[in-house]
A and B are shown apart, each in its own frame.
Chain A
Amino acid sequence: MANLSPGDKAVPFELPGVDDRSHTLTDYADREAIAVVFTCNHCPYARAWEDRLIDIQADYAGRGVQLIAISANDAKKYPDDSFPRMKERSGEKGFNFPYLYDEPQDVARAYGAERTPEIYVFDKDGTLRYHGAVDDNYDDPGAVRSHFFIDALEAILGDREPTTTQTAPVGCTIKWR
Chain B
Amino acid sequence: MRVSFLYYEECPSHDLALVRLREVMAEESISGDVEVIKVEAEDQARELQFVGSPTIRVDGQDIDPPGDASYVLTCRAYRLEDDRISPLPSKDMIRHALRSMAGSRPG
The residues of A with any CB-CB pair to B shorter than 8 Å are 42-45, 47-48, 50, 77-78, 138-139, 141, 170-173
B30: chain A residues within 8 A (beta carbon): none
CB-contact partner of B10 in A42, A78, A172, under 8 A: A172
- A1 smallest CB distance to B (angstroms): 15
Q: Let me know if A139 and B88 touch, CB within 8 A.
A: yes
Excluding A44-B87, A48-B85, A171-B75, 9 further A-B contacts by CB distance (< 8 Å) are A42-B77, A44-B75, A44-B77, A44-B78, A44-B85, A78-B72, A139-B16, A170-B12, A172-B11
Q: A44-B78, A172-B11 are in contact. Are A139 and B72 (CB under 8 A)?
A: no
- A140 smallest CB distance to B (angstroms): 8
CB-contact partner of B86 in A77, A139, A172, A173, under 8 A: A139
CB-contact partner of B75 in A50, A139, A141, A172, under 8 A: A172
Q: Let me know if B86 and A43 touch, CB within 8 A.
A: no
- A83 smallest CB distance to B (angstroms): 19
Q: Let me know if A77 and B72 touch, CB within 8 A.
A: yes
Bound-state CA distance A44–B78 (Å) is 8
Q: 30 pairs across A/B with beta carbons < 8 Å?
A: A42-B77, A43-B75, A43-B77, A44-B75, A44-B78, A45-B12, A45-B13, A45-B75, A45-B87, A47-B77, A48-B84, A48-B85, A48-B86, A48-B87, A50-B85, A77-B72, A78-B74, A138-B13, A138-B87, A139-B13, A139-B87, A139-B88, A170-B12, A171-B12, A171-B75, A172-B10, A172-B11, A172-B74, A172-B75, A173-B10
